[in-house]
Amino acid sequence: MGKIRARRIKLDTPEKILKKDLDLYQEKSLQLGATDARIIPARQVVVDPRVRLKCLVPRCHLYGETPNCPPYTPEPHQMRRILEKYSYAIMVKNDVLPAEDFVDDEKWYKAHMAHQGKTHRIVSGVEALAFNDGYYFAAGFAAGGCKTALCGGRICQFLDSGRCRFPLKARPSMEAVGIDVYRLVSLVGWGIYPVAHKDVDPESIPCAISVGIVFVA
Ligand code: SF4
């Protein structure tokens, strides 16, 4: 992305300008490589404490391994209150092709860096655009853990020494803050399947996806 022009902060952005900006962020998401992007009302996003439970049952290998994963991320009850303040969000989707990339043990780390890393880059890029347009509460959430998506499984440098390798790209995932991603994606109309990295027959998954969201205003 080239240099972003900063815009003067306005306390009341007219709805017409906000809609125009949302269209621009949708377009930008596609330019940055998303397969699809949608503008959604923030009220469609449901936060469910059972999503966080799934970080523990079965316990995720990334739990406590990065500052962008539980237990360091906002709790669902905090997140629910935070999201009440937003009106609109941009959802982005990356198709993961072939689906084997997410179910094959051999390819797992490399594939996560390619696909989930791309979601981190799109989400952080769109968030930066919105922030510089004056939406100073813009906040992006990606997919998977930054330890696999950006650092390829290496030990987290932030937890080790306080210096993240990718401070402007790393974001918590949607699921790390309790967002019911499966529900939201189904609501938007995109196909989504439960993809585990073992045991799943790739033939049963027409297309795996990686999804992120940017709450704009
Ligand atoms: S160093 Fe890597 S694993 Fe740690 S917070 Fe930064 S991106 Fe995430």
- Candidates 15, 187, 178, 176; CA nearest to 91 is 187
Name the H helices within the chain.
15-31, 49-56, 76-83, 100-103, 108-132, 146-149, 157-161, 181-188
Reported confidence tier of residue 165, pLDDT bands at 50, 70, 90: very high
The CA distance from 73 to 78, in Å, is: 10
| Alpha-carbon distances, residue 74 vs 28, 81, 122, 145, 176 (angstroms) | 28, 11, 22, 15, 8
Residue 168 has pLDDT above 70, yes or no: yes
What does the pLDDT average to over 30-37? 98
pLDDT of residue 197: 58
Which H or E run includes 94?
strand 88-96
In a domain, residue 176? The reply is: yes
Q: Is residue 98 part of a domain?
A: yes
51 domain-assigned = yes
Residue 103's pLDDT is what? 65
Residue of 151, 160, 173 best suited for mutating to test ligand 1, as the one with most atoms within 8 Å of CB: 151
Confirm whether 22 is domain-assigned: no
What pLDDT is attached to residue 207? 82
> Quick check: 158 pLDDT over 90?
yes
Q: Which domain holds residue 197?
A: 33-215
Handedness of CA 211, 215, 174, 191 (dihedral sign): negative
- Encode pLDDT of 173-204 as tens digits: 999 999 999 999 999 999 998 876 567 777 78
Q: What percent of the chain has pLDDT over 70?
A: 94
Ligand 1 contact, 72 CB (< 6 A): no
Nearest to 92 by CA among 114, 119, 116: 119
Best mutation site among 60, 62, 69, 147 for ligand 1 pocket (most ligand atoms within 8 Å of CB): 147
As a whole number of angstroms, the distance between CA 195 and CA 188 comes to 19
pLDDT tens-digit series, residues 113-142? 889 999 999 999 999 999 999 999 999 999
Per-residue pLDDT reduced to its tens digit, 57-85: 999 999 999 999 999 999 999 999 999 99
Asked whether residue 49 is assigned to any structural domain, the reply reads yes
Task: Report the C-alpha dihedral over residues 195, 196, 198, 201, rounded to 10 degrees.
Answer: -20
Mean pLDDT of the chain: 93
Residue 112: inside a domain: yes
Q: Among 14-23, 43-52, 106-115, 178-187, which stretch is predicted with the lowest mean pLDDT?
A: 106-115
| Structural domain total, the chain | 1
pLDDT band for position 209 (cuts 50, 70, 90) = very high
In a domain, 27, yes or no: no
pLDDT at 28 over 80: yes
Query: Is any atom of ligand 1 closer than 6 Å to the C-beta of 156?
Result: yes
